[in-house]
Chains A and B, each alone.
Chain A
Amino acid sequence: MARGEGPPTESGSALQGRDAYSINWRLVAAVVLLQAILLVVSPPLLVFALIEVMIFALYASALNLLLSFSGMVSFGHAVYFGLGAYGLALSITHFDFPIALGIVAGPLVAAFFGLIYGILCVQLTAIYAAMLTLACAEVTYAVVFQWFDVTGGDSGISGHVPTMLGLAPYQFGLVVLCVVTVAILMLWRVVYSPLGLTIRAVGQNPARAAALGHGRKSIQLIAFVISAFFSGVAGTLFGIFHGNVFPDYVGVLFTVDGLLMVVLGGLYSFGAGIYGAIIYKLLDNLAAHYFQYWQLVVGVIIVVVVLVSPSGIAGLVRRIVDRFERRP
């Protein structure tokens, strides 16, 4: 299921195999193919579920760039997700963009706000920076929720774009698969490149990175904008998927969803967002389906993961793989 999955360690050391920094194309092709087949043969409802998981895998992976690698915590990442969808909607309803242009505008709007808010947030570190991301998110939510004449307030904007672009679910699923695969590969490229190494150095130890000549602020800002952009891609896809946008999309629930996905998936591994999205959505749907107190179930599982396996699903997978590899 996991797309773009290569070696899941943060330190893809070049020595551990000369290919650690390059993409395992065979694996990617196999996963994409499998996913494509799944999309084509599944009944529509499963296709919808797969689309949702793919979009959230991208969103969580973008957030993971911040959490795992750049040393930042964002308490307002839904802003960039939601602004992707709002960028699409508003550019069409208020600026009469054609849909194609609106789709491009979505991620750019998200990245633009990522830049503005990012400039503010990187002035601070640790929990203070996280608090500022929260403040930025709350301001955005308040504006989107209250600026009724432009954003439609709580009843949102709909009808600006045909749901799923008017495609059949599996067709739209394939489009999403392509976009998400490319986007996650791009994120992989970011993490395992000179820039990514720089981001990770700053994220792990800003003092050492500074002594090496890296300014924390500018590099964290780059990571922030990249993360906002890809969150915006996910949000734009989500906006098209549902054919609408609501303040909820920039709201705290989507932020919390993203955070929990990454933690469940496993901090400090590239696959966290992908694993996390799959597991969290599965959990969320199953628990809610069978149990009125689904939040309780989710909460308890999170507690168990934090206490028992802080490296999340990715850590679990790695341990299993290690065990197999050790046994000849």
Chain B
Amino acid sequence: MLLVQVMQGVMEGIFLFLIASGLTLIFGVSRIVNFAHGSFYMVGAFLTYQIYPWIAEGTALGFFVTIVICGLLVAALGLLFEVFLLRRVYHAEELMQLVLTLAAVLIIRDVTKFIWGLDDVSVSLPDALAGAAVIGGTYLPTYQLVMVGVGVVVLAAVWSFLKFTHAGIILRAATDDRGMVALLGTNQAHVFTSVFAIGCFLAGIAGGFAAAFESINYLLDTRVIVLAFIVVVIGGLGNFYGALYAALAVGILKALGLLFAPRLSMVIIFLLMAAVLLIRSLRRTTE
């Protein structure tokens, strides 16, 4: 029982990681806390609902193709948002940036309502992905295993991107020291824009996967953003790998929490977040 719940938690954690990874990448580079991340995720989910029937409904391949297309579309949307709006406030106060992303949440939500209406919609899981591997009475659903696989692929892709490519090295430099990017003579704006687009791409595909996993409506944005924030904060804002550990921890904590303290699982997770933040602050080196 315990083991089943832990495995359940791992699978949920990977899914959380998919959502949170983009958020943490964006913060790491541009120090923007993007409240609209959940909205981009929601747009990804609705686009998947819209586009899947046009591609090849019912097939697993069509499903994956759809998700990649939707990821790209969301990335394009994020790109526009970054270039036309966000870029203008990089030098303003933090609060202005936050409020701008909050405004984006309001706008995207109403546009979503306008296009796709108020009712729940849902994407049917392709049959090939709907089953489960049964090992000794324990069910390991194919779809969640696939998501674990996707999580690993994203992790590997981002890891090798950061490690091996020129752009990745600039990115790492940008995360560690933003002044350094300017010194390197790189066009900082390009770095910010591309990372924002990559973050939105990740949000978009996470939303696509969610569309087949749960039922989606215009409230999806706020439903997901708080949890994503918790993961990012526990992992260390801007820390890509930290987000993975945090996502797994939150997933497992949620799954085990309902065995031992069923009504307190969210409270426990928030307390974990508070504790992590405070413990980090105790390691004072600079004030």
A contacts B directly (C-beta below 8 A): yes
Residues on A lying within 8 angstroms of B by beta carbon are: 67, 73, 120, 123-124, 126-128, 130-132, 134-136, 138-139, 142-143, 146, 206-207, 210, 216, 252, 256, 259-260, 263, 267, 293-296, 298-300, 302-303, 306-307, 310
Cα–Cα distance between A73 and B270 once the two chains are bound (Å): 19
The yes or no answer to B95 lying at the interface (CB within 8 A) is yes
> Taking CB as reference atom, which chain A residue is nearest B230?
A135
The yes or no answer to B281 lying at the interface (CB within 8 A) is yes
Contact B107 A142 (CB under 8 A): no
Instruction: List, sorted by A's number, 10 A–B pairs whose CB atoms are closer than 8 Å.
Output: A123-B278, A128-B233, A128-B280, A135-B270, A143-B267, A259-B98, A294-B110, A296-B110, A302-B106, A307-B88
Q: How far is the CB of B177 from chain A (nearest CB, A)?
A: 17
Cα–Cα distance between A306 and B105 once the two chains are bound (Å): 15
Cα–Cα distance between A300 and B110 once the two chains are bound (Å): 11
Contact B278 A303 (CB under 8 A): no
Contact A67 B95 (CB under 8 A): yes
Contact A120 B103 (CB under 8 A): no
Q: A299-B105, A306-B99 are in contact. List 8 more A-B contacts (CB 8 A).
A: A123-B278, A127-B94, A256-B102, A259-B102, A267-B93, A302-B106, A303-B107, A307-B88
Q: What number of residue pairs across chains A and B have CB atoms under 8 A from each other?
A: 119
Contact B99 A259 (CB under 8 A): yes
Contact B263 A146 (CB under 8 A): yes
Cα–Cα distance between A123 and B95 once the two chains are bound (Å): 19
Given A142-B267, A296-B110, A306-B103: A128 and B96 interface contact (C-beta under 8 Å): no
Contact A73 B94 (CB under 8 A): yes
Contact B233 A131 (CB under 8 A): yes
Interface residue tally of chain B, by bracket? Answer: 35 or more
Return chain B residues, CB-CB under 8 Å to A300.
103, 107
Cα–Cα distance between A307 and B94 once the two chains are bound (Å): 14
Given A135-B274, A299-B103, A303-B100: A128 and B110 interface contact (C-beta under 8 Å): no
Return chain B residues, CB-CB under 8 Å to A136.
270, 274
Return chain A residues, CB-CB under 8 Å to B198.
none
Given A127-B237, A128-B281, A135-B273: A263 and B110 interface contact (C-beta under 8 Å): no
Given A132-B274, A306-B89: A124 and B103 interface contact (C-beta under 8 Å): no
> Taking CB as reference atom, which chain B residue is nearest A148?
B263
> Taking CB as reference atom, which chain B residue is nearest A253?
B222
- Residues of B259-287 at the interface with A, using a CB-CB cut-off of 8 Å, are 263, 266-267, 270-271, 273-274, 277-278, 280-282, 287
The yes or no answer to B63 lying at the interface (CB within 8 A) is no
Cα–Cα distance between A143 and B264 once the two chains are bound (Å): 9
* Of the residues B85, B229, B263, B267, contact of A134 by C-beta under 8 Å: B229
